[in-house]
Amino acid sequence: MRDGVHIKLFTNSTRRIRWDAKLGFQKNPGSIRISLDSAVPEGGPISRVDVIVVRVYPTLYSERTSDGRRIVRNRRAEERVDAEYKRLLEQRMEKIYSDVRTEMKLKGKDKMEECLTQASPSMRNRDAFNKEILEKVEEKLRKDSLNRRNVSELLKAKVVDLHKPNFGRPTVLSIWNPNEDVIGLLTEGKSLTLMNVIVSNFIRASNPLQINATRQTMYKSLDRKSRYPARRLTPLDSISTGVSPVFGEIDLVGIVISVKDISHSSSVSQIVYLADLKFNFAGLSFWGSCKDNGWDNVLVRRRVVACSNLCWKVGEQANREVPVLQVKETAFFTENPRTDHLKEGVDKLKEGLPKDLNSFICECEEKLLEKLQNPSLTNTSRNFEQETLCIQKQSQSEECSSSNVKQPESSSSMPKQFEKVQRSGRPSNSPFRWLPYKNV
Which 3-state string (H, E, C) describes 392-407? HHHHHHHHHHHHCCCC
Give backbone dihedrals phi and psi of 108, rounded to 5 degrees, phi first.
-135, 65
Choose among 237, 194, 242, 234: nearest CA to 218.
Answer: 194
- So what's the pLDDT on residue 113? 58
- So what's the pLDDT on residue 108? 61
What parts of the chain have a pLDDT lower than 70?
1, 105, 107-126, 145-146, 202-206, 264-266, 314-319, 375-440
pLDDT digit string (tens) for 97-136? 888 778 776 766 555 555 555 545 556 666 777 777 777 7
> Which domains are assigned to the chain?
31-59+153-222 (2.40.50.140), 73-146 (no CATH), 236-373 (2.40.50.140)
The CA distances from residue 37 to 9, 214, 219, in Å, are: 19, 21, 20
> Which residues, 6+ apart, have CB-to-CB distance to 235 below 8 Å?
252, 276, 280
Is 133:97 a contact under the CB 8 Å cutoff?
Answer: yes
Is 239:378 a contact under the CB 8 Å cutoff?
Answer: no
- So what's the pLDDT on residue 317? 58
Is 321:378 a contact under the CB 8 Å cutoff?
Answer: yes
- So what's the pLDDT on residue 191? 96
The CA distances from residue 171 to 161, 212, 240, in Å, are: 9, 10, 29
Is 296:289 a contact under the CB 8 Å cutoff?
Answer: yes
Rounded Cα–Cα distance for residues 258 and 44 (Å): 50
pLDDT digit string (tens) for 246-257? 898 999 999 999
Which 3-state string (H, E, C) describes 55-121? EECCCEEEEECCCCCEEEECHHHHHHHHHHHHHHHHHHHHHHHHHHHHHHHHHCHHHHHHHHHCCCC
**Residue spans of alpha helices (H) in 224-292:** 236-241
